[in-house]
Amino acid sequence: MSSSPKRIFDPVHHFIELDAAETALLDTRPMQRLRRLRQLGLAYLAFPAAEHSRFSHALGALAMGERAFAALRAHGGAPFADERDYLAQRRLLRVALLLHDVGHGPFSHACEAVLGVRHEARTRAILALDEMRVALAALEVEPRDVLSLVTGEPAPQSGVLKELVSGPNLDADRMDYLQRDAYFTGVAGGRYDVDQLAGSLRVFELHAQPLLGVDGRGLVALESFVLARYMMFATVYFHHTTRMFERVLQEALLEIWPDPSALDPIEAFLEWDDARVFEALRGAPGKAAAALRDRRKLYGLAIEFNAERDLSSYDECLQALRERFGDAVWADEQQQLMHRLPLLHHGDAATVPVQTHAGLVDATRASDVIAKLSGPAYWRKLFIRRDAADLDEARRICRTIVAGRR
């Protein structure tokens, strides 16, 4: 770090420090564009304070990565050849975390569904821009190494760094966004014991490979982390109002982007942010655009089944509604794994190794809570298009079916 670092105050992590070269990276056009992309997309229509940006999240991910990396070094066992190697890995980690979301489009997942290009591919194109290559060269970081940690292609040299940037369980990305999203939505269930979890991170040898894990004293913190993720999906990410407006947004984006391939060139893609989408919607004539402008609900929620493994009631309701209302029914089916196997795992790979008095064991064996949350959790919602069907009747049909199955 330089002798006079830039200090940025953040409501979640407080002061975040960057050196001159990192600050120059922040000042690039692709990074500044992240200020104009909401981290939670349309969730602000259900949670009015959820206006925070992907830019603030990028800084928060860096802050969490710095805490995690410091804990690994303090407790030994981390794969650093020497001080120079430690500083190089730390620099690469910080840069990759700043850039991990740089390829996102406006309203993220709705945008990807319409344009058909994943944000990882956009990241590759963005890092090839002259402006970004100059900024990374000043940091002595190769674009290839950043892509390796963000996208997994090419295969990363360090599995520990990959886990911290974009791993399935203990990444700094998730460690920040859970805190940040809970803070701005006001959802208490999304909070977890971040101090204990970060301080408990360790590097273990498993099958002759270094793997990020948790000291046994941090097991309860890991449980709180997994539970926080579950609560945020149940409460915020799959909230019925958010999901409904995301559906409407996809319809509206098809109105303003009749030829999605026109945004394939990276410079054309970077011209779009949340504000420009809404400016385009201002003059769009369709119902979806008008619904987003005025927060009108084109769809009504008939019934929802949250995190239920028995889907027989859901299936019966869906069949009955489609028989009655046909295409006016929208079935929103979401599922998530709260605790996952590592990316590109082989054989008996662990989810998160935990050091206990009995030795190194998998988190699903060390904790009944994590074991119970390790399978897929399902969220199913049935919506009715209000202008094409009777919502009250749809709700009565579903209530009758559910009551009859009790």
Q: How many residues comprise the chain?
A: 406
Question: Using 50, 70 and 90 to split pLDDT, how confident is the model at 350?
Answer: low
Question: Is 98:26 a contact under the CB 8 Å cutoff?
Answer: yes
pLDDT digits (tens, 9 = 90+) for 375-397: 778 899 999 999 999 999 999 99
Structure tokens at 199: 């301080």
End-to-end CA distance of the chain: 63
Give the integer Cα–Cα distance in Å for 111 and 179.
Answer: 25
- In order of 83, 135, 166, 168, 169, the CA distances from 343 in angstroms are 29, 29, 9, 7, 10
Task: Kindly tell me if the per-residue pLDDT of 208 is higher than 90.
Answer: no
Give the integer Cα–Cα distance in Å for 103 and 289.
Answer: 25
Dihedral sign, Cα of residue 181, residue 187, residue 192, residue 195: positive
Mean pLDDT of 205-216: 86
- Residue 77: what pLDDT? 66
- Residue 297: what pLDDT? 94
pLDDT digits (tens, 9 = 90+) for 81-115: 788 999 999 999 999 999 999 999 999 888 998 99
Give the integer Cα–Cα distance in Å for 109 and 237.
Answer: 12
Determine if the peptide bond prior to 258 is cis (ω within 30°): no
Task: Kindly tell me if the per-residue pLDDT of 293 is higher than 80.
Answer: yes
Question: Is 210:79 a contact under the CB 8 Å cutoff?
Answer: yes
Question: Is 179:57 a contact under the CB 8 Å cutoff?
Answer: no
- Residue 311: what pLDDT? 81
Question: Is 143:132 a contact under the CB 8 Å cutoff?
Answer: yes
Written in H, E and C, the secondary structure of 310-362 is: CCHHHHHHHHHHHHHHHHHEEEEEEEEECCCCCCCCCCCCCCCEEEECCEEEE
Question: Which residue matches tokens 């084109």?
Answer: 298
- Residue 2: what pLDDT? 44
Domain 6-281: which CATH class?
A: mainly alpha
Of 70-79, 287-296, 299-308, give the lowest mean pLDDT range.
Answer: 70-79
Burial of 272 (0-12, 13-18, 19+ CB in 10 A): buried
Mean pLDDT of 117-128: 93
- Residue 153: what pLDDT? 86
Task: Kindly tell me if the per-residue pLDDT of 69 is higher than 80.
Answer: yes
